Every structure is written in C-alpha cells, then in structure tokens.
C-alpha cells in the first residue's frame, strides 16, 4: 500500500518502461535515458517545492553513481556522501 504523498510524487515523474540492466548492452542505453529523465523531473519538482536535498551523477556507463545528500535539523546541516554501483 502506498500513501497519498508517495502516489502524488510518482504520478509527477515519468515511470520507467524498459526492463534492462548494464549487461543488456543495447537496452541499457534506453533504460539509462529513462532513469535520467525521471531523475531530472524529480529534482525539478523538488526544487519547485523548495525541497532540494541531494545531488547525484553517474559515470558514462551509468553503472557507478555518486553524489551528496543532506538534511537540515535545528538549523544544522548534515551532509552525507553517497556512492553505489549498478551491476
């Protein structure tokens, strides 16, 4: 079950259609484009709602992702590095 806030967020970004991973050479490029489009729209929505909380980028192959996320609590900003691999 999904709450209403999650449902609203998901309805405002393009859903991914291609089922592929990095080992699926030709389909992976299509999937990666869909991932980028969804991320770009999600970031745009967050900025419009003054809810900017992460930066994310990948290498050229789209298999190594890295960036930062942050949270502000009691006027203190907590910042975290993030990194993950898609295989």
Ordered per-residue pLDDT tens for the chain, 87 residues: 789 989 998 999 999 999 999 999 899 999 999 999 999 999 999 999 999 999 999 999 999 999 999 999 999 999 999 999 999
Whole-structure pTM value? 0.86
Cβ(17)–Cβ(47) below 8 Å: no
The kind and range of the H/E element at 29 are helix 25-48
Taking the CA atoms of the chain, what radius of gyration do you get in angstroms?
15
């Amino acid at each position: 079950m999904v709450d209403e806030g999650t449902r609203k967020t998901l309805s405002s970004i393009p859903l991914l259609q291609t089922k592929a991973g990095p080992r699926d050479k030709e389909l992976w490029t299509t999937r990666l484009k869909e991932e980028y489009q969804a991320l770009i729209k999600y970031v745009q929505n967050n900025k419009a709602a003054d809810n900017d909380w992460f930066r994310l980028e990948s290498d050229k192959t789209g298999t190594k992702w890295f960036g930062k996320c942050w949270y502000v609590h009691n006027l203190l900003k907590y910042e975290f590095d993030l990194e993950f691999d898609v295989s």
